[in-house]
Amino acid sequence: MLIGNHNRDGVAHTTKQHHESSKEDVLEPIVVKAQKVVEHEGRPHTRDYDDVTQEFVTTVITDYCVCLCAEGPMPDHAMETSLLDASWAWAHKVTGVNLVTSHRSQVCSQLKTKLCPLVKAMFGFHSSQSKNVIKKNQALAEGLKEGTNFTFKEDGRRGFLKAPLIQKIINTMWFANKHDNGVVFHTYFKPFPYPALALVLAAIKCCIDKWVMGTRMDIPFTIQEYHGTYKLHLKCLRVFEDATKLYSVLPGICMRLYETRRYMYMLFYILMIVVKSLIHHSIHSGAGPLSAPTKATVSARVIATAIREHEDRSTTEDESD
């Protein structure tokens, strides 16, 4: 596959700029008609097509999903079209193939699927028809949503954006293995981008919303339902960044969200090598490469606390190591 050979210049370097930076290097196009080799009812899948089509479509999807997370996880139609066009051009460049097809990113649905069981387990929601349990679930959901309490690591609104759940879902969604987008396209995620963080916060709220009636409801995490929530969280991050810019608090938090995951991934990888060598001690083992939105605001107290935590790293840098 060619998609592993992307050379990203960084998050600040926009998709359009990146793709236009080397137009002279574009290969002579190989015009290919998509050949479907597997027929079945329902939606088409990439695996239904010939190898050339699969390579092209996979390149488009991967590039689009990475750009989406880094630049605008809940885009309007114009931005979505722009990102798709840029990813299409990039796939044409790296494969030399000119193909026509379509695919919508599944980032939101994938994030919700991975996040819902984590929200239930880490916050302590329980599935039950007991009136007492239902009341506890309702109170828990409302308490977590109040003032975006779910973003804090500790009671008393300390540790803003350091809740263990945030790091956990970032690990699971983007850094679970060496083939995940956060590892392969690491320049897009170093530091962890604000739009992707805002998407995570909106998704957590969606999963909490499922419990507001005391029993788990099915609430879709869609652009139509949660775009307003996403925009509010993104605005909140920008306000927080501006209020703490003298101390670079938010860039520091986002860098740690990235670095913590990279560090844990490397430890896991080394551990797997050690275990393998212990089991097969006579074999040499080598290492490889790596709904209506609620009000989201940042109070002066939260900002002041975050600055103190940032300055006093000796007591606040022990995240979840």
Residue 170 above 80 pLDDT? Answer: yes
Statement: the pTM of the whole predicted model exceeds 0.75:
no
Q: What is the pLDDT of residue 266?
A: 53
Angle 87-92-96 from CA coordinates, rounded to 5°: 160
Cα separation, 94 vs 108, in Å, equals 27
- End-to-end alpha carbon distance in the chain: 35
Q: Is 176 helix (H, G, I), strand (E, B) or coil?
A: coil
Q: Each residue of 205-250: pLDDT tens digit?
A: 999 999 999 999 999 998 889 999 999 999 999 999 999 999 999 9
- Report how far apart, in Å, the C-alpha atoms of 271 and of each of 140, 240, 279 are: 37, 38, 12
Q: What is the pLDDT of residues 54-111, one digit of tens each?
A: 777 777 778 788 887 888 788 877 777 777 777 777 776 766 655 544 444 578 999 9
Q: Is the pLDDT of residue 11 over 50?
A: no
- Short-list 3, 8, 1, CA closest to 193: 8
> What counts of helices (H) and strands (E) characterise the chain?
12, 4
Query: Which uninterrupted H or E stretch holds 61?
Result: helix 51-71
Q: Where residue 23 falls among pLDDT bands split at 50, 70, 90?
A: very low
Structure tokens at 59: 């390149």
Q: What b/e sequence results for 36-72 when a residue is b if at least 16 CB atoms lie within 10 Å of its CB, and e otherwise?
A: eeeeeeeebeeebbeebbbbbbbbbbbbbbbbbbbbb
Report pLDDT for 43. 53
Residue bearing tokens 């916060």:
201
Residues 58/3, Cβ–Cβ less than 8 Å: yes
Q: What amino acid is encoded at 316 in this protein?
A: T
315 or 199: which leads in pLDDT:
199
- Residue type (1 letter), 305: T
d(C-alpha 234, C-alpha 223), whole Å = 14
CA distance 315 to 153: 13
